[in-house]
A = this chain, B = another copy of it.
Amino acid sequence: MSDQQSEGMPRQSKRSRGGSAPTIYDIAKLAGVNPSTVSRALSQPGRINVKTEERIQAAAKELNYRVNPIARALPTGRTNTLGLIVADITNPVIFGIVRGAERAAADAGYTLVVAESQESGEREATAIERVMPSVDGLVLATSRLADAQIKQIAARKPVVVINRALEGVTGILPDVERGVGQLVAHLAELGHRSIAFVSGPETSWVSRRRWEALLAAAPERGMTIVEIGPGVPTLDGGTAAISRVIASGVTAVVAFNDLMAIGLLRVALERGIAVPSQLSIAGFDDIFGSDFTSPALTTVRTPLTEAGERAVRHLLSRVSPQPDGRRVNVESLLPTELVVRGSTGHPLADAGA
């Protein structure tokens, strides 16, 4: 019974299907060695006799062999894949992150799977559960999860968060103070004495940080500053804030992000308010399109592509430690910088009155 396999015609030999991709068994047969030798030759160069290795390489090339990443992942647990979870793929702030992450991953021979949570914590948790088993690590950009949830995930797989400070979890964070300092100095030089900050969502860590930085920098230059908000971080969120901005009597307004700033800019122009002479407007992030406006938007740029890149490189350094000791410096903050365009300028002499 047990030898029913061996009797009769030479029923298709154990390993060798027709159309399918070649396996190490095919190579082994062709090179006349054991499959395990092939595996070693391919993944641990040097472990095998040079002569044999060459023979195996030649056979592999002849068969046009590609290692099956799934078969490799099963025993090793390493998938050569990273996950990137974003709240909203079409949010321009995210694009850069995705690009940077994808590049860094591709450079290292890693594949990137992208999942979108659509701003929902629940969907985010689902998406994470789905990709978790098949990734070596996760980048959480703009996560909507609670700190505790993130920590729990970080305990299972390496995790890097972007734009969020979290005890025990690596975070890629911007040097908000730098860009804000430049912005405030810029406005002060132009002659502004009062600023309004139109803030974003109450729960936004980034919005809070930006506000704190402004709150610290403005008085140093002898400027007054007020916060208006919270508001939704969209064009409409900016539009909705205009009345309060005007009522506050400031000559310059800084919005939580470029989208809100553009909303402010549009509604201001509609109402016949001259920008920048009557009202200077600035935003954050330097998103795609922020220079499409007339006047173009002055903004504090956050290097988002670099954020994505760093996040992935740090993840990789934990997933597959580099022998040469190169380590990604995640301690240093991402440098932000002011981009001066047309939406900020000297206030009219009488405007400050």
A residues contacting B by CB (< 8 A) are: 21, 66, 68-71, 73-74, 79, 81, 89-90, 92, 95-96, 98-99, 102-103, 106, 109, 111-116, 127, 129-134, 262, 266, 269, 288-290, 292-294
Contacts and interface: CB of A to CB of B under 8 A. Distances in A.
Nearest to A84: B114
A96 B90 contact: yes
A116 B102 contact: yes
Given A81-B113, A114-B114, 4 more contacts: A70-B73, A90-B96, A90-B99, A102-B116
Contact of A113 (B98, B112, B127): B112
B90 A114 contact: no
A290 B292 CA distance: 8
A68 B133 contact: yes
B115 A111 contact: yes
A336 to B, nearest CB: 19
A89 B95 contact: yes
A33 B289 CA distance: 60
Contacts of A68: 133
Contacts of A288: 90, 92, 288-289
26 contacts: A66-B129, A66-B132, A69-B133, A70-B74, A81-B113, A89-B95, A89-B99, A89-B102, A90-B96, A92-B289, A95-B95, A98-B114, A99-B116, A102-B114, A103-B116, A106-B116, A106-B127, A111-B115, A111-B130, A112-B115, A262-B292, A266-B292, A269-B294, A289-B289, A292-B293, A293-B293
Contacts of A71: 74
A95 B88 CA distance: 10
A290 B112 CA distance: 29
A342 to B, nearest CB: 11
Given A129-B66, A134-B70, A289-B288, A106 B115 contact: yes
A133 B102 contact: no
Contact of A112 (B69, B106, B114): B114
Contacts of A98: 89-90, 114
A99 to B, nearest CB: 5
A269 B295 CA distance: 11
A209 B328 CA distance: 47
Contacts of A112: 113-115
A71 to B, nearest CB: 6
Contact of A74 (B74, B90, B115): B74
Which of A127, A132, A293, A294 has the most B CB atoms < 10 Å from its CB? Answer: A294
Nearest to A67: B133
A299 to B, nearest CB: 13
A251 to B, nearest CB: 22
A228 to B, nearest CB: 22
Which of A66, A89, A106, A115 has the most B CB atoms < 10 Å from its CB? Answer: A89
A15 to B, nearest CB: 15
A266 B296 CA distance: 10
A109 B96 contact: no
